[in-house]
Amino acid sequence: MKLKSMATIWRLGIKELWSLWRDPVMLALIAFSFTVSVYTAATAVPETLHHVSIAIVDEDHSPLSQQITAAFYPPQFIAPAMISHREVDPGMDIGRYSFVLNIPPNFQRDLLAGRNAEIQINVDATRMSQAFTGNGNIQQIIQGEIDTFLRERNPVQAAPVDLVLRARFNPGLEKAWFGGLMEIINQITMLSIILTGAALIREREHGTIEHLLVMPVTPLQIMLSKVWSMSLVVLAAAALSLNGIVRGLLHVPIDGSLPLFFCGAALHLFAMTSMGTYLATLARNMPQFGMLMMLILLPLQMLSGGTTPRESMPAPVQDLMLAAPTTHFVELGQAILYRGAGFDVVWPSFLSLLIIGSIMFALSLRRFRSAINSMA
């Protein structure tokens, strides 16, 4: 590419940046996406238990039942309400309690005697996220207290093997570590489409696209200027969010190479900004562009492996999503940011993004040329 052509692409990109700077709505969207959205996604993960209401029907009144009752404490649970058996159904009917434990009479005596002992857990299954997560947590808490109680009473019968859990890459199983980083990856994908598509539609609505048609510029130069300028904005916002929100506010440690991650993000932006340009040539206005974007963006994010592991998806979906840039970006992002992987591990994802991005750019450029020629 000639130096003069590169200078033209540079000046057109600066024009795009000035246009974005004069658009307060887009600036507010960028700021919100990489600050409030990232923070809330990290701290408000729906599977996390926080101040869950629980009640206990203690018909045993033994040291073990009191030990189990004392095991439920904030911030995961509200202090347990001690109720009678006849208050269980009315309390759950009005939604006062999410969980109700019923400890039967003689529970401790039966347990020590080796007889079958049961505890009933009543769950309000209409509260889906709390029901699934809380049910497992409550069972673990109860079993842990029972094991501790039995070891204190009879150390000889203690289990000869202790199971030691070592969680790699996230020792404390902090869900904020996952939520914050994945939200940055999702916002990079979303804003790359929005900013590029909105820039093209804004020029069409303001009539500046006609000005470009009479200038000595080519569709390739116009597209490249939008790609580099909008990609620069997204990368800068992501870098500030990663260091300010994720590292600074949420205290999430990142052991991987940030330059390597942003190199992968640049390749991903190359593909997604091309997609944004293609969608903008199909839409006549911003509402149409928004509808098209939602139809494309939701499957890209939901099936990329960022929310649900790809291994749990049907095989046809896994094969189909190999053609999506989000799949490879999520894969390299998780490998670098979570596990500290180097280029020798993630190079297949880089290569896939380069190939997919080149194909999408070529298709978008062809469509953009056709749209420009129809306006000329």
Identify the CATH number of the domain in which residue 97 sits. 3.40.1710.10
Whether residue 135 is found in the same domain as residue 232:
no
| C-alpha span between 2 and 220 (Å, rounded) | 13
Structure tokens at 237: 């916002």
Residue 162 lies in a domain: no
- Quote the domain boundaries for residue 269: 3-44+174-375
Residue 199 lies in a domain: yes
Whether residue 139 is found in the same domain as residue 240:
no
Residue 168 lies in a domain: no
Whether residue 130 is found in the same domain as residue 179:
no
Whether residue 75 is found in the same domain as residue 143:
yes
Whether residue 145 is found in the same domain as residue 238:
no
In the listed set 131, 157, 183, which residue is the last one of a domain according to the structure? 157
Question: Does an H or E element contain 15, and which?
Answer: helix 3-21
**What is the count of structural domains for the chain?**
2
pLDDT (0 to 100) of residue 161: 47
Counting every residue written for the chain, the total comes to: 376
Exposure string of 46-77, with b = 16+ CB inside 10 Å and e = fewer, is eebeeebbbbbbbebebebbeebbeebeeebb
Residues in the chain predicted with pLDDT less than 70, given as ranges, are: 1, 44-48, 128-129, 155-174, 207, 209-214, 373-376
Helix 175-206, helix 258-282: angle, nearest 10: 40
pLDDT (0 to 100) of residue 164: 56
Whether residue 252 is found in the same domain as residue 368:
yes
- The whole-angstrom distance between residue 346's C-alpha and the CA centroid of its chain comes to 20
> Tokens 């909008």, residue?
230
Whether residue 28 is found in the same domain as residue 76:
no
Residue 191 lies in a domain: yes
pLDDT (0 to 100) of residue 112: 85
Whether residue 35 is found in the same domain as residue 58:
no
In the listed set 157, 182, 210, which residue is the last one of a domain according to the structure? 157
pTM across the whole model: 0.75
Residue 236 lies in a domain: yes
Could you give the C-alpha distances from 371 to 176, 200, 296, 374, in angstroms and in order? 44, 11, 21, 5
Whether residue 222 is found in the same domain as residue 135:
no
Q: Taking a C-beta distance cutoff of 8 angstroms, is the pair 122, 100 a contact?
A: yes
In the listed set 123, 157, 191, which residue is the last one of a domain according to the structure? 157
Whether residue 71 is found in the same domain as residue 139:
yes
Q: Could you report the per-residue pLDDT of 6-57, keeping only the tens digit for each? A: 888 888 889 889 888 988 988 999 999 999 988 888 776 555 677 888 999 9
Those residues whose C-beta lies under 8 Å from the C-beta of residue 14, and which sit 6 or more positions away, are: 229
β-bridge mates for residue 187, sequence order: none
Residue 291 lies in a domain: yes
Whether residue 116 is found in the same domain as residue 204:
no
Whether residue 132 is found in the same domain as residue 204:
no
Q: Could you report the per-residue pLDDT of 259-268, keeping only the tens digit for each? A: 999 999 999 9
| C-alpha span between 23 and 221 (Å, rounded) | 23
